[in-house]
Amino acid sequence: MTAREQILGEIRRALGRAASQPPLFRELPAPTLRIPRLDRNLRTDLFVQKFETLGGKAFRVRDASAVLPVIAELLEEKSAVASNSPFLRKCGVTGLPQVHAGFTERAELKQACADADVGITSVDYALAETGTFVMLSSHNEARLVSLLPPAHIAIFPRSLILANLDELLSILPRPADQTSSMVLITGPSRTADIEQILVRGVHGPGEIYAVIVEAE
């Protein structure tokens, strides 16, 4: 008997169920999704407040053309890798001389991210209540850009800010249909493993920045 047959068989014996018997009560009620009503301004305010409480730094800019000066000032002489998000191109970020972009090959991207000081991405959504970035892995957004460099900058329009996790799950009830990886990023990488003392930047970025574009 295979391990699979044995384990499923023992589960059924333990539960007194026959193979292929449907669940006892099919209609497990849908989980309650609690979504507060917040208008766009409140969402942005709340996101900024929560994000900065976690140790992030947020910038609010008027429109896409106002992004570049902020990024230039944040980067100074530092090297950066940018994701393939069209929004970054629209903001002109990929045109900066120290920004490497356009990676489509895994090994090259990995090496570039390991060498870079800063990773620049957009986001798929942001969550106001927790100050969270939501990133779905895709051709536009690789996993490692927001992970390997010691600093992460996310640039996104404020229309992507949702109220909370519950709203995200109401919009994306099955994230796996779209991507192999959806990650929620809530603050800089941190640990409290030694004496419960908070240290930022363990394996992921210790510095994170949000640049929120008010007009689309």
Residues 62-121 that bind another protein (CB under 8 A): 84, 103-106, 109-110, 114
Taken in order 130, 127, 90, 98, the sign of the CA dihedral is positive
Cα separation of 178 and 181, whole Å? 9
Tell me the closest approach of the beta carbon of residue 107 to another protein, in angstroms.
Answer: 9
Tell me the closest approach of the beta carbon of residue 72 to another protein, in angstroms.
Answer: 26
Give the one residue of 33, 65, 72, 95 binding another protein; rule: CB under 8 A: 33
Give the one residue of 68, 137, 159, 214 binding another protein; rule: CB under 8 A: 137
CB 184 within 8 A of CB 141: no
How far is the CA of 105 from the CAs of 102, 108, 150, 214, in angstroms?
9, 6, 21, 33
Alpha helices, H only, 38-143? 40-53, 67-75, 86-90, 106-115
DSSP letters for 23-49 = PS-S-PPPPPP------HHHHHHHHHH
**Stretch near another protein under the rule CB under 8 A, chosen from 8-16, 38-46, 92-100, 117-125:** 8-16
Residue closer to another protein by CB (options 61, 101) is 101
Give the one residue of 10, 69, 95, 216 binding another protein; rule: CB under 8 A: 10
Asked if 171 is part of the footprint of another protein (rule: CB under 8 A), the reply reads no
Tell me the closest approach of the beta carbon of residue 176 to another protein, in angstroms.
Answer: 4
CB 123 within 8 A of CB 156: yes
Cα separation of 152 and 135, whole Å? 13
Tell me the closest approach of the beta carbon of residue 216 to another protein, in angstroms.
Answer: 25
Binders in 38-67 for another protein, by CB under 8 A: none
- Provide the 10 A C-beta neighbour count for residue 209: 20
Give the one residue of 22, 39, 73, 76 binding another protein; rule: CB under 8 A: 22
In three-state secondary structure terms, 166 is: helix
Residue closer to another protein by CB (options 70, 144) is 144
CB 182 within 8 A of CB 175: yes
Residue closer to another protein by CB (options 25, 39) is 25
**Stretch near another protein under the rule CB under 8 A, chosen from 37-45, 64-72, 89-97, 185-193:** 185-193
Residue closer to another protein by CB (options 10, 63) is 10
